[in-house]
Every structure is written in structure tokens, then in C-alpha cells.
Chain A
Amino acid sequence: MFEFLGVPPQALFGQLLLGLINGSFYALLSLGLAVIFGMLNVINFAHGALYMVGAFTAWLMLQYLGIGYWPALILAPLVVGLFGIILEKTMLSRLYKLDHLYGLLLTFGLALILEGMFRHWYGASGQPYRIPDALQGGRNLGFMFLPNYRGWVVVASLVVCLGTWYAIERTRLGAYLRAATENPVLVQAFGINVPRMITLTYGFGVALAGFAGVLAAPIYQVNPLMGSNLIIVVFAVVVIGGMGSIMGAIVTGFALGLLEGLTKVFYPEASNIVVFVVMAVVLLIKPAGLFGRER
């Protein structure tokens, strides 16, 4: 059997698969960010907090309403999406005429408030959420033990990511969206309600975050800080992929998950900075990101 830098291939495949799983979360979250940035030109710093709210919504539904994992997978993103729509209508929409920075500050503030509230109510250690019965256990793949639930995360994430990409790049609705990004005034002149479209886009983008939150709930503790741990990496993913590029966000999300997985084998101490090193390098060579285009 060959070895790669002293690591047996079984271990390597295992780590790559784990990287792919983490990549699923990066992809889902960065996709939502990319959609929002593409359409609204808002850098949504509340994305991580809304991911956390998604996980907590699922937990609260189970705890107080007895709603299980599968209904929550649909309902929690709807709740988060609705919350996002309210945020957009009441606050964000007032900032479009101003500099990007204001949107960033507003959403950053919102993120701090949301995290602070949940920490106050539920503590910093988080709450346990069980893996649904249908996905308990795991299977032995020969080179590693794969918990069924993690396999499901990769599949669910891929389906949602590709579905979103298809809807935006290949359908009529998506064409409206892209057109409105290029020239909102002209699209409005064709009788399309652009402000409503913007609101719904924001709702959809944060619903994706909520969906990722529900997916994450059984793996990690449902923790008020789970979003802030992730959001910085996800921003790096978006920057590397290219701001506003849908496919860029998806591909980069999975690719960086893989890269991080490899780092955890060869030099674990650096596993939480490798993404930023890549970001710095990409920005130096291709400032618009790997899939972005200069505006």
C-alpha cells in the first residue's frame, strides 16, 4: 500500500470525506451570502446568527411543540426566512442608498444582539439535539466509519445548492433576478416589482442559513455561538469564490472544506487559519476571486 507523506490512504480518504461534510456547511452558508450580496449588495453579517437561529428554532420546536427533525427541516428555514423578510422590510431596505458599510454595520449589530439574547436565555454550553432515528448509526466504508447522518448532510446540501444554482442561472425567475441586479430601473420599467423581489431574495438567502442551522443541530451542540465560529470562515469562502458568484460560492465551499480536512491531518494546529492564507493568496493574484468578474 502506498503512503502519502506518512499518512496511509485509508486515513486520507476518511479525512477528505470529513472535509467534504464540513464543506457542505460552508457551501450552504456562502451560497446564501452570495445570493444576498449579488442581489442586494448587502454584506450580510447576520448570516451566522441566523444559522444559529435556525438551529435553535428546530430545538425549540422539538422542546416545546414536539415537532421532530423532518418537519423542522422545512419549518425552521421558513421561520428564519420570514424573520429575514421582516428585517429587510423594516431596517435593511432603508440603507440601500447608502454605502455598503452601513448594511454591514447594521447586520453585524443584529448578529451581536441575536447571539447575546440566546446566550442570555440558554447559556453558552448549548443544548443537545438528537440525531433523528432514521439516520442513527452509520456504515463501515472500509476506510472509515461514516455516520449515516453525515452522509445525509452532504446529500441534502448538494441538492439544495445545485437546486438554487439551477433556479438562478437557468429559470425565468432567475433571469429576472439577474436582470434586476444589472439594472433595477429597467427591470422595474418592464412591470416587475423589484423591491418585492429583493425582499424575497433576502428571505430566501437567510432561509438557506436557517436550513444549514437545522442540518448542523444534531452534529454540534445547538449553541448561541455556533454561527460566529463559522461566519468568518464563510466570508473568506465567499471572498475566495468571488463576491456574488453562485457557482463560485458552492465550489469554493466544498473545496475549502477538503483543504481544511487535509490540514487537520498534516498540521492540525493550522487548521483554523489555512482558509485565510488561501484568501490572502487569492486576493493577491485574482482580486475579484476565483469565479468573480471585475465590475
Chain B
Amino acid sequence: MLARILAAGAAFVALGVGAAQAQGVSGDVIKIGVLNDRSGLYADLGGEGSAVAARMAAEDHGGKVLGKPIEVVVADHQNKADIGSNITRQWIDQDNVDVIVDVPNSGVALAVQDITKQKGKIFLMQGPATSRLTGDACSPTGFHWAYDTHALAVGTGKAIVDAGGKKWFFLTADYAFGHQLEADTSAVVKANGGTVVGTVRHPLNTSDFSSFLLQAQSSGAQVIGLANAGGDTINSIKQASEFGITQSGQSLAGLLLFLSDVHALGLQVSQGLQLTTGFYWDMNAETRAWSEKYKAKTGKMPTMVQAGSYSSVRHYLKAVEAAGTDDGPTVAKKMKEMPVNDFFAKNGKILPNGRMVHDMYLARVKKPSESKGPWDYYQIISTIPGDQAFATLEKSGCPIKG
């Protein structure tokens, strides 16, 4: 109680003197809040795995920062923006949480970004995809880490247009993420000489896609772009194979495909799909070493969201150490000064709008005959340099200047 009164007093004083900088660690603990979908269609791509990754980062940092303990708390936002906002407010206002991690579902992430921006708290985004989070909805304390819709469009979209897939039809999840992914990919398709012949928008968490697939089939498009994620993508791909869509000459483009999706689909159905990812466990000795450690704890190989959660939390803790405080804006500044160098990203740099720029990879799902066993799913086709994968600060539409 006394600590709270003191903290409140300190905040009051800090407000009074304007730009005075807080020192030390608020609440005598660094609290990391992992907020994501723990029970719904996105639970496997982030979920408890992201929390495990955050705990691993805390352990690897020695369990303490600036002599204070690190604590990881978790919550389920159920893919609802109001629930996500309420938890975020409670965490920040009452529970002394310093940093929010993950938050898949762009709709929820946009709401959380608004709150963390107002309150000057760090927000490390892994799961959400929309490039608006570092565009018009950017925040000085928001960091977008693993991937975004821009990178997906540049990666998968361009690769497919270059290979001759010029006529596109979009199957889009009807919320912030789907709309943005569709918009970003359409732009890339058109810029490279392709056309978009139609689009159909399905509600989030649909189980039967046959009707939408039939519309895509009759559109005459060469490529059906799946601007959805998680369980929705899994069911779309599975049912496309059932309805003989790929056999009839149309191809599917899974614009956002996670390792967990491929695992759930099986290689028989998913083989040959091209995808863009920010991370794959089997790239080099470093990625394998970390991923094996992760697998020992969870029984699964990490998705890019889960690996990104580790990377961002680790970077955050280093920045707190370097800044000597857990004050959000100060730490954010420090994070942007320091390069990101770990198993996840080599020479990753953070733009003023919060975009962590790192190399992305274009991959192809292996045939069952090429795979050596569970989790041996991707063949990396090419590396997309970070500067090409992500929008520049000027083009992002973010009002923050460098």
C-alpha cells in the first residue's frame, strides 16, 4: 500500500515538473503482460507459446533486471477488442504491468496500441499483422516485430505475380487485418502488372468456406489469395483441396501461414504452398538451438510469433538495463538506438515508427516425400532483405518523424 502511495506521489511530482525523467523501476518489479488468444482460432500460433517464450527471455536475462525481479503474467483477450482494452487498462492502472506482448488479431492490437500510447507504456507486437500499427496508428512506444501485411504482400504476393499469377481473387477475413492484407497485396499485385478480379469477405472464425471458394472458382482468377489467418486459413485450404480447386488449374496463395497451420493441415494438403515468414526454426545452428530448447518446454516448434516474442522481450530487457529505468518513453528511445542481434534477427534495426526491420524469408511447403518428419516443413526459397520487406518511415504514413 505504502509503495502505491509513494508511486502515486512520484507520478504526481513527475507530472508537476513536466519533462522530469523517472528513474529506477516502478513497483519494484518488471511485469511483462502477454495478452493473446489463448482459447480460440489463433491460440496455437501465439497463445501459451508466446508466454513460454517471454518466460525464457526473462530466464536468459538472469530473472532480474536492474536488480529487480521479472514477472510474466498472461491473459486471454478472446479476439475481442473490448476485452483486450479492459485487460490492458487494468494491467497498466492497477497491476503495474510495464510492457504488453504479442496481441494477435489486428483489431484488438489497434485498441491496445491506443491505450499504451496514451499511457506511455511499451507494446511489443508479434501476432497482429496490419501495417497500420506502424502507419497511421503508430505510437512512440509501440514496436511491431515479427512481420506485417506489407512484408507478406511483398513476399508472397510479388513472388506469385512474378511466376505468372496475374489474375487474383481475394478471400478476406472481414476485419482490420484481412482488409489491410488485401489492400497491401492488391497494391503489390497491381504494381507488378496483375489485376484483381474480385473479392469476398467472410466473417472471422468461419467453419464452412465452400460457398466462398465456389465464388472464387467461378471468378476466372488464376490465384485465390487467402487474406485470413489461423483456423480460417486451415479450413480454406482444406476445403479448397476437397472442391478440386487446385486440380482445376487455380492456385492458392496463403498470404499468412504459420508453422502451426501447416502442422495442423499436414503436408499432404499443404504441400507446394508459398508463404512469407519472419522466422523458421531450421535455418542455422542458432535458430535450431533456441527452437529445440523451446520444443523441450512446449512439445512444438515455435512459430514466428513465438520466436519474435522471445526476441522482443529480450531486447526490451536489455534496453531497460541500458536506460536504467522502466519508464516507457525512455526505454522506447533506448530500444530504437540499439540494434537487434539474436537468433531471430541479424542486425535488425528499429525505425522511429516502431517497425523492427529485419530479413524476411520466402518459403515453400515441402512435399511429404521431402520431409524428414514432424516440423520439417519449409524449404526457404529466398531471403527478402528487410529494406524491401517493410515500408520506409516516409511511406508508412506514420506522423512520427525520425
Query: Which A residues contact B (CB, under 8 angstroms)?
Result: 8, 10-11, 14-15, 18-19, 21-22, 116, 119, 123-128, 131, 137-138, 144-145, 147, 149-150, 219-221, 223, 225-226, 229-230, 261, 264-265, 268-269, 271-272
Contact = CB atoms under 8 A, between A and B. Distances in A.
Contact of B41 (A19, A22, A124, A150): A124
Interface residues of B, number: 42
B39 interface: yes
A260 B24 CA distance: 58
B201 A125 contact: no
A11 B41 contact: no
A125 B238 CA distance: 12
A282 B5 CA distance: 57
Interface of B: 39-45, 47, 174, 200-203, 205-208, 210-212, 214-215, 217-218, 230-231, 234-235, 238-239, 242-244, 248, 260-261, 263-266, 268-269
Contacts, number: 109
Shortest beta-carbon contacts, A-B, top 7: A125-B264, A124-B43, A264-B211, A125-B44, A272-B203, A128-B266, A123-B44
A15 B208 CA distance: 12
Contacts of A269: 174, 201, 203
B244 A147 contact: yes
Contact of B230 (A125, A150, A261): A125
Given A124-B42, A220-B208, 5 more contacts: A10-B218, A138-B242, A147-B244, A225-B39, A268-B201
Contacts of B243: 138, 145, 147
A126 B201 contact: no
B40 A264 contact: no
A222 B324 CA distance: 50
Contact of B211 (A8, A128, A220, A265): A265
Contacts of B260: 123, 125
A217 B79 CA distance: 25
A220 B244 CA distance: 16
A125 B242 contact: no
Contacts of A123: 43-44, 260, 264
Nearest to B206: A272
Nearest to A19: B211
Contact of A119 (B43, B45, B242): B43
Contacts of A119: 39, 43
15 contacts: A8-B218, A15-B211, A119-B39, A123-B260, A123-B264, A126-B234, A137-B244, A149-B242, A219-B239, A220-B208, A221-B231, A229-B205, A268-B212, A269-B203, A271-B203
B40 A124 contact: yes
Query: For B40, B203, B208, which residue has the most chain A Cβ atoms within 10 angstroms?
Result: B208
A265 B266 CA distance: 30
Nearest to B266: A128
Contacts of A11: 214-215, 218
Given A124-B39, A124-B41, A145 B248 contact: yes
Contact of A125 (B210, B217, B234): B234
A124 B203 CA distance: 18
Contacts of A226: 207
